[in-house]
């Protein structure tokens, strides 16, 4: 990072923004990540100069040389968070500085330049303010924000990281991630494939982690399951995460989540739930759980609920588990009371219907 002076954004509003009627047609059924708003933010980075040319422009395609580094060596990473509309009309985000900090942690791992946290948050604010009419009013809907950074140096040299980068933010109105509301998911235990190994990029939110995971997701679907659960790379026994969501195990009034060993993505929802647990009179700990312990706990009734958590789907119950040589249900396979209580609390804070004791809400407009 070479710039310390504050960047000022150039603002170029679209002259072909969608009409109110066109926008309402999209917002009536937004799905997830399919439609995008009228603007985007870009900031360029040049080695020696630092960050420059911060701008808000009409949303549109990029023109990049085919030899651009990101296409070949996957120096790319992203973030994900949401803007919510409160009943009084104001628009907020949830813990954006936590995303800014994690973005920079990912940048360090991927040998990419860090972006000042205030600039990261200002970019989000600028885009949401320009596209504020795209923040849905429908209950449970939101505007999903996708900051990302790509290596833009042209050339196939593989020995050094890129000297040029582009940071961007785009926004997409979102219903909920899994269609059909709060419905327990079935999970497939991946013993053939590994998502992340010690020393690798598992804790960085980089696209490459996803590229390597699709084959296992396809296997899960072929096995009749919704999602993959990743296990440790060494023994394929210890639960890590779901590859886009972190996992929590509920033993009555005690929560257990896999510890951040460097191979898991440090979810902001995960961290928020560890904090919320205390507020709700639950005990919470980080530790280690094998698939044998998961199955035995469900069979004895000691392990009462399991849920996954992440920005996109908030909190989603896990109803059944399948692996190469085993299968079982969690509880009676329906959403449990602790899962739903935590979900309601978190969603309530995000949508402004419950108090925000930890000051997680960041008002944008
Ligand atoms: C983004 C992500 C999560 C969830 O993180 P949140 O900050 O809670 O949205 C979990 N696992 C992976 C691999 C992710 O990319």
pTM: 0.96
Tell me yes or no: is domain 10-174 CATH 3.90.245.10. Answer: no
The pair of structure tokens assigned to 329 is 């249900």
CA distance 248 to 268: 13
Ligand 1 atom, smallest distance to 205 CA: 15
CA distance 359 to 349: 10
Q: Which of 239, 246, 260, 273 to mutate to test the pocket of ligand 1 (most atoms within 8 A of CB)?
A: 246
Ligand 1 atom, smallest distance to 312 CA: 9
For ligand 1, atom 2: residue with the closest CA: 244
CA dihedral 27, 61, 245, 229 (to 10 degrees): 120
The pair of structure tokens assigned to 36 is 């995008």
Q: Give the model confidence (pLDDT) of 129-171 as tens digits.
A: 999 999 999 988 999 999 999 999 999 998 889 999 999 999 9
Handedness of CA 132, 134, 138, 141 (dihedral sign): negative
For ligand 1, atom 14: residue with the closest CA: 244
Pocket of ligand 1 (CB under 6 A): 80, 205, 241, 243-246, 265, 267-270, 310-311
CA distance 296 to 178: 28
CA of 246 to the centre of ligand 1 (A): 7
CA of 102 to the centre of ligand 1 (A): 11
CA of 270 to the centre of ligand 1 (A): 9
Q: Which CATH superfamily is domain 185-351 in?
A: D-amino Acid Aminotransferase, subunit A, domain 2 (3.20.10.10)
What band does 243 get if pLDDT is binned at 50, 70 and 90? confident
Average pLDDT of the chain, as a whole number = 95
Q: Please report which helix (H) or strand (E) contains residue 170, including its range.
A: strand 164-174
What band does 6 get if pLDDT is binned at 50, 70 and 90? confident
Spatial contact of 173 and 67, defined as CB atoms under 8 Å apart: no
Q: Give the model confidence (pLDDT) of 272-320 as tens digits.
A: 999 999 999 999 999 999 999 999 999 999 999 999 999 998 999 999 9
CA of 92 to the centre of ligand 1 (A): 20
For ligand 1, atom 10: residue with the closest CA: 245
CA distance 19 to 35: 14
Domain boundaries, the chain: 10-174, 185-351
What band does 2 get if pLDDT is binned at 50, 70 and 90? very low
Q: Give the model confidence (pLDDT) of 174-220 as tens digits.
A: 997 555 668 899 999 999 999 999 999 999 999 999 999 999 999 99
Ligand 1 atom, smallest distance to 243 CA: 13
Angle formed at CA 358 by CA 277 and CA 86, multiple of 5 degrees: 105
């Amino acid at each position: 990072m070479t710039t310390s002076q504050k960047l000022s954004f150039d603002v170029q509003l679209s002259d072909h923004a969608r009409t109110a009627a066109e926008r309402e047609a999209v917002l009536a059924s937004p799905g997830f990540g399919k439609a995008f708003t009228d603007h985007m933010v870009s900031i360029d980075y040049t080695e020696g100069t630092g960050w420059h040319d911060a701008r808000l422009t009409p949303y549109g395609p990029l023109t990049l040389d085919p030899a651009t580094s990101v296409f070949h060596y996957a120096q790319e990473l992203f973030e994900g968070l949401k803007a919510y509309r409160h009943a009084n009309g104001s628009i907020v985000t949830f813990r954006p500085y936590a995303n800014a900090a994690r973005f920079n942690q990912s940048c360090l791992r991927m040998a990419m330049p860090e972006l000042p946290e205030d600039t990261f948050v200002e970019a989000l604010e600028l885009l949401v303010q320009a596209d504020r009419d795209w923040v849905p009013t429908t209950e449970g809907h939101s505007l999903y924000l996708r900051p990302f950074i790509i290596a833009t140096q042209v050339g196939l040299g593989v020995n050094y990281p890129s000297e040029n980068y582009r940071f961007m933010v785009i926004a997409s109105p979102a219903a909920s991630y899994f269609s059909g509301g709060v419905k327990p998911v079935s999970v497939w235990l991946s013993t053939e494939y590994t998502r992340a190994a010690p020393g690798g990029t598992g804790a960085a939110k980089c696209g490459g982690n996803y590229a390597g995971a699709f084959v296992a997701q396809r296997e899960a679907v072929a096995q009749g399951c919704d999602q993959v659960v990743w296990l440790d790379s060494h023994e394929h026994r210890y639960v890590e995460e779901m590859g886009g969501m972190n996992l929590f195990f509920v033993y009555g009034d005690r929560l257990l989540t896999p510890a951040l060993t460097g191979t898991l993505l440090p979810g902001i929802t995960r961290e928020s739930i560890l904090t919320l647990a205390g507020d709700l009179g639950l005990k919470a700990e980080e530790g280690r759980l094998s698939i044998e312990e998961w199955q035995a706990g469900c069979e004895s009734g000691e392990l009462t609920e399991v849920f996954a958590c992440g920005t996109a789907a908030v909190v989603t119950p896990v109803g059944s588990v399948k692996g190469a040589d085993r299968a079982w249900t969690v509880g009676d396979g329906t959403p449990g009371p602790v899962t739903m209580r935590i979900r309601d609390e978190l969603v309530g804070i995000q949508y402004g219907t419950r108090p925000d004791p930890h000051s997680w809400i960041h008002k944008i407009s």
